[in-house]
Amino acid sequence: MTIQVGDRIPSTPLVKVTEEGPEQIGSDEYFAGRKIALFSVPGAFTPTCSAKHLPGFVEKAADLEAKGVDEIACTAVNDAFVMGAWGKASGVDGKVTMLADGNGTFAKAVGLEMDGSGFGLGTRGKRYSMIVNDGVVEQLHVEAPGQFEVSSADYLLARL
């Protein structure tokens, strides 16, 4: 079942990409006591994700912070090393935290997984954005397949 506004983020493991390397962190700990703008992409280094989705959040980081967002996080069903390399190549420079969901545990727990096997991707996370405040979903914007409209930084920013 897909997570809804008002629901608490389920307890799952995530891997946070840091300068010192991958850091295992639980979603309970990560989302506690802060307002997080979380967005999900089907895959690192994929066309829309690299050309529009991640760069939009990097560009709007200060604007989101000014609206009360404590941290911006990007998640994908990729390993921490791929997420780290993508973050470096995209110039996230501390503006976006890269969260690896290598086994798709988080995507499945929130009910936002997708079947990308037709493209050789296996099970991935859908494209979406959400605002999570102290572990509770305040906003959720899930894209229709093949679309990029409601999960953008601009769309989220306009609703804060």
The torsion of the CA quartet 136, 109, 155, 46, rounded to 10 degrees, works out to 150
Which amino acids are annotated catalytic?
A: 49
How far apart, in whole angstroms, are the C-alpha atoms of residue 51 and residue 25?
28
Q: What is the pTM of this model?
A: 0.94
- Number of helices (H), then strands (E), in the chain: 7, 9
How far apart, in whole angstroms, are the C-alpha atoms of residue 6 and residue 140?
10
Tell me what pLDDT residue 46 has: 81
Buried b (16+ CB within 10 A) or exposed e, 71-102: bbbbbbbbbbebbbbbbeebebeebbbbbbbb
Across the beta sheet with 97-100, the strand order is 21-26, 13-18, 97-100, 71-76, 35-40, 128-133, 136-142
Does residue 119 sit in helix, strand or coil?
A: helix
Tell me what pLDDT residue 62 has: 97
Q: Amino acid identity of 46?
A: T
The torsion of the CA quartet 140, 142, 147, 149, rounded to 10 degrees, works out to -10
CATH T-level assignment (fold) for domain 13-158 = Glutaredoxin (3.40.30)
Tell me what pLDDT residue 52 has: 86
Tell me what pLDDT residue 37 has: 98
pLDDT per residue rounded down to tens, the chain (160 residues): 899 999 999 999 999 999 898 999 999 999 999 999 999 999 888 878 777 899 999 999 999 999 999 999 999 999 999 999 999 999 999 999 999 999 999 999 999 998 887 887 778 899 999 999 999 999 999 999 889 999 999 999 999 9
Cα Rg of the chain (Å, integer)? 14
> What is the DSSP-derived secondary structure letter of residue 75?
E
